[in-house]
Amino acid sequence: MNFILPLPGSALALAMLALCGCAATSTTQIVPSPQPPVCQASAAAVVVWAPQWRADQKDVPAREAAAAEGIDRFFKDSGCFASTSVRRVPQLSASAIQSAASDAAPRHDRLVAIAVRELGPVVRIGTSMALVEGGTEVVLGVEEYRLPNPAPRAFSVHWAHGGPGVIKGVATLPQDMQAALAAGLQPGSR
């Protein structure tokens, strides 16, 4: 004999969440697209970065630490450039970028400026059949200067990892930053 028991609202939501699965996917949007790779394994580069958080951004020190760790790891491990000098600047003004470039000890033929606009977990409730949809996202503004040309190439990268039933915290933010940089700068594609 089979019995069907009524489920309270929260138990029903959990059951639906379990049925919908927790498949996570990664997406990258580059605007304008397509963009040729920024990375060139034989080039020397100076990379400057600065946060450009929205006014209501939470946990700013933790996000900046995660961004710094992810950026440093990416340029250390990816082979994007033959040599890289990475510097955090207070803001991405023309004078800060020029100062970082002139202070760089080795000769370089690339300057890359990265604005970190978003780095963190997202949760959306009621936007899909799973009731809860989340993950992490990274939004970057990238400018590449190829010396001696003074005009930069500029584009934005919006990288997201998540999906229905996915809830993520801040533990993966350095890896998420690395993944977003890999998607936008394209190491190993030349």
Per-residue pLDDT band for 6 (boundaries 50, 70, 90) equals very low
pLDDT over 50 (residue 10): no
* Residue range 169-190, pLDDT digits in tens: 678 899 999 999 999 999 986 4
Exposed / middle / buried, residue 31 (Cβ in 10 Å: 0-12, 13-18, 19+): exposed
pLDDT value of residue 25: 83
Pick the CATH number of 22-185 from 3.30.160, 2.60.40, 3.40.1130, 1.10.540: 3.30.160
Question: Could you count the other beta carbons within 10 Å of the beta carbon of residue 83?
Answer: 13
Q: What is the pTM of this model?
A: 0.82
* Residue range 72-91, pLDDT digits in tens: 999 999 999 999 999 999 99
Q: Which residues pair with 89 in a beta bridge?
A: none
* Residue range 98-152, pLDDT digits in tens: 887 777 666 788 999 999 999 988 776 765 565 677 788 999 999 999 877 778 8
Distance from C-alpha of 71 to C-alpha of 77, rounded to nearest angstrom: 10
* Residue range 48-74, pLDDT digits in tens: 999 999 998 889 999 999 999 999 999
Distance from C-alpha of 134 to C-alpha of 85, rounded to nearest angstrom: 34
Nearest to residue 49, comparing CAs of 112, 119, 120, 138?
112
